[in-house]
Amino acid sequence: MNHSIYSADRMTHLKVVVVALVAGIAVAGFGISARTGSDLNYAQSSRVIKAGAPIAVTNSNTSVVR
């Protein structure tokens, strides 16, 4: 067994490439199959959001002196 990728033979490199390819396909397949939601609603509805008055949000009760 050769423990260095630099001095490995061609067959070892081929095995590494095949294992990486199979793992990549498995991850992609899992990601595609793990989608949530229904495929029946292809159309997306658009909602109009109108801007209101500007507000200031703080988490402190201290007053700021400028």
What residue spans define the domains of the chain?
1-38
pTM of the model: 0.48
H or E segment to which residue 23 belongs: helix 10-33
pLDDT digits (tens, 9 = 90+) for 7-65: 888 888 899 999 999 999 999 999 888 876 655 556 667 788 888 888 777 777 676 66
**Which backbone phi and psi does 12 adopt, to 5 degrees?**
-65, -40
49-58: burial string, b at 16+ Cβ within 10 Å, e else: eeeeeeeeee
Euclidean distance between CA atoms 54 and 35, whole angstroms: 38
